Amino acid sequence: MKGIILAGGNGTRMYPLTLACCKQLLPVYDKPMIFYPLSVLMLARIGEILVISTPSTTPSLRDLFGDGSHLGLDIGYAVQDEPRGIADALLIGADHIAGDDCALILGDNIFHGARFTDMLAASRAANHGCTLFSYPVTDPERYAVAELGSAGELLSIVEKPLHPRSENAITGLYLYDREVVEIARGIRPSSRGELEITDVNRAYLDAGRARLVELGRGFTWLDAGTPESLLEAAEYVRTLENRQGISVACIEEIALRMGFIDAEQCFRLGSELGASNYGRYVMEVAAEISAAH
């Protein structure tokens, strides 16, 4: 399975914060926002990842991650020169997907929960078309909303409904089979001139090949695309890290635990981060795991 992070857009909801800085490089407590979606793909054991962003932001993202080899990853880059919708990422990434299954995640989405790695593994194994992830929200009219049947089956997906039939918002994480590029090529721009990911998902639903995984109690999903939600995300991560002594979305630790790199390389990466608390944490994790083995 290949991975795509869509880190494009103009970030207009964040102005003036994003007038001179990409939204996905803004800090969510102690690390750049884009660490969080990258960590999800890594937890899903996806090592080949394409980052799609704007012409002005792509060089900064390349400076941040390079080719990903230090993390045991293969990270490439592509440009979306203007916002053309989420589904456009599937067309931009067609050569990257190259007939494989694909996981697409939005660059401002944050996921955290117990046994998330197991859920991702199970979702990959069970995916035979399209797998969507939902989360209950108090304002579902802002999102694409999933309607479920009595047996929990996915009945419909409605984009920003005036009268939502459920509180289940579709999150910005999508798993697709190898047919997704052809399906994306077949949809037409919406009234706002964009290729809507909901239209791709509906195509799978109409074919009877869409399933929904509900992220319920024990999970957190945050869309950090506004100043308020960015602050909420930072406060959540700060509280969790300080109380539990962990680091959420620490990509070096995840690379080690998922087998992309070894403890020696992880320790080296931590030492390169200077005197930061984050760097010390990476070195401590590497030392603990090395001692355990």
- pLDDT tens profile 112-162: 998 999 999 999 999 999 999 999 999 999 899 999 888 888 999 999 998
Mean pLDDT of 44-53: 98
With a cut of 90, say whether residue 191 has pLDDT above it.
no
With a cut of 80, say whether residue 10 has pLDDT above it.
no
Residue-level pLDDT at 222: 93
The length of the chain, given as a count of residues: 293
Q: Residue 67's pLDDT band (boundaries 50, 70, 90)?
A: very high
Query: What six digits make up the tokens of 249?
Result: 């979305």
Residue-level pLDDT at 83: 85
CA 105 to chain CA centroid, nearest Å: 3
Q: Answer for the pair 224, 236: CB distance below 8 angstroms, yes or no.
A: no
What does pLDDT average to over the chain? 94
Spatial separation of the C-alpha atoms in residues 174 and 225, rounded to whole Å: 18
With a cut of 80, say whether residue 11 has pLDDT above it.
no
Residue-level pLDDT at 150: 84
Q: Residue 48's pLDDT band (boundaries 50, 70, 90)?
A: very high
With a cut of 90, say whether residue 18 has pLDDT above it.
no
CA 64 to chain CA centroid, nearest Å: 17
Mean pLDDT of 29-34: 96
Spatial separation of the C-alpha atoms in residues 6 and 79, rounded to whole Å: 10
Residue-level pLDDT at 291: 92
CA angle 49–54–182, rounded 5-degree value: 55
Q: Would strands 210-214 and 168-176 be described as parallel, antiparallel, or unpaired?
A: unpaired
* Per-residue model confidence as pLDDT tens digits over 78-120: 999 988 999 999 999 999 999 999 999 999 999 999 899 999 9
Mean pLDDT of 9-14: 74
| Phi-psi region at 280: left, alpha or beta (left = phi > 0; alpha = psi -120 to 50) | alpha
* Per-residue model confidence as pLDDT tens digits over 198-244: 999 999 999 999 999 999 888 999 988 889 999 999 999 999 999 99
Q: Which residues pair with 146 in a beta bridge?
A: 157
Mean pLDDT of 17-44: 92
Instruction: Specify the DSSP class assigned to residue 65.
Output: H
Instruction: Specify the DSSP class assigned to residue 97.
Output: H
How far, CA to CA in Å, does 251 sit from each of 21, 70, 92, 184, 214? Answer: 22, 11, 25, 30, 25
Which residues lie below 8 Å from residue 284, measured CB to CB, with a gap of 6+?
270
Spatial separation of the C-alpha atoms in residues 50 and 97, rounded to whole Å: 9
**What single string gives the DSSP state of each residue in 102-171?**
EEEEETTEEEEETTHHHHHHHHHHH-SSEEEEEEE-S-GGGSEEEEE-TTS-EEEEEES-SS-S-SEEEE
Q: Residue 293's pLDDT band (boundaries 50, 70, 90)?
A: confident
* Among the ranges given (14-23, 52-61, 172-181, 252-261), the one the predictor scored with the smallest mean pLDDT: 14-23
* Per-residue model confidence as pLDDT tens digits over 251-273: 999 999 999 999 999 999 999 99
Query: How many other C-beta atoms are found inside a 10 Å radius of the C-beta of residue 71?
Result: 25
With a cut of 90, say whether residue 15 has pLDDT above it.
no
**Prior bond of 37 cis (ω within 30°):** no
Q: Would strands 144-148 and 154-159 be described as parallel, antiparallel, or unpaired?
A: antiparallel
Spatial separation of the C-alpha atoms in residues 128 and 211, rounded to whole Å: 9
